[in-house]
Amino acid sequence: MGMFTRALAYILSHGADGLKQVSEDAVLNANYILRSLEDVLDAPFGHSGPCMHEALFSDKGFADDVSTLDLAKALIDEGYHPMTMYFPLVVHGAMLVEPTESESKAALDQFITAFRSIAERANAGDESMAGAPYLAPRRRLDETSAARKPKLAWAGDAAE
């Protein structure tokens, strides 16, 4: 219920004109990212015109031993939460970047610089990407084991 309350508060605080503006800002931010990265990342639908609120890229052009997951984990080391991966299903190695309306141009430029650097490493086949993230409190998990054999109970020290 709290989600609905927050959404309603957001809508009411912006009003009709404000909602139109934030929608336009989200679309502008997504297109800025799309056009800023399309020279280093494959944008499968970039040729069809402006995107809406999300920029879509694929893993086409990555070295054979680098995956979308590797790129996403490398983004963690740069301080960014990874984008939506492997969706939509019709795009191989999909990366869906959805900047919000509240991101400043400076913040977008920082993200683009980090994403560009990582994409260039992926295209070049940087082997170190397979071990990312290196700077996060938790390293790369075995996601298959975690899904098939989840540990659902805390098993800390008895003294705690």
With a CB cutoff of 8 Å and minimum separation 6, the contacts of 95 are: 41, 56, 57, 58, 59, 68, 71, 72, 83, 84, 85
Q: Tens of pLDDT along 100-151?
A: 999 999 999 999 999 999 999 999 999 999 999 999 988 887 878 888 988 8
pLDDT for 159 equals: 57
pLDDT for 55 equals: 97
Per-residue pLDDT, averaged over 37-60, amounts to 95
Strand partners, 85: 95
Place of tokens 């020290």: 157
- Interatomic CA distance for residues 160 and 157, integer angstroms: 6
pLDDT for 158 equals: 58
Place of tokens 């082997």: 127
User: What are the structural domains of the chain?
Assistant: 16-133 (3.90.1150.10)
Cα–Cα nearest to 72, from 22, 129, 13 = 129
With a CB cutoff of 8 Å and minimum separation 6, the contacts of 111 are: 33, 80, 99, 103
pLDDT for 67 equals: 95
In the chain, the percentage of residues whose pLDDT exceeds 90 is 84
Q: How confident is the model at residue 36 (pLDDT cuts 50, 70, 90)?
A: very high
pTM here? 0.83
pLDDT reading at 32 higher than 80? yes
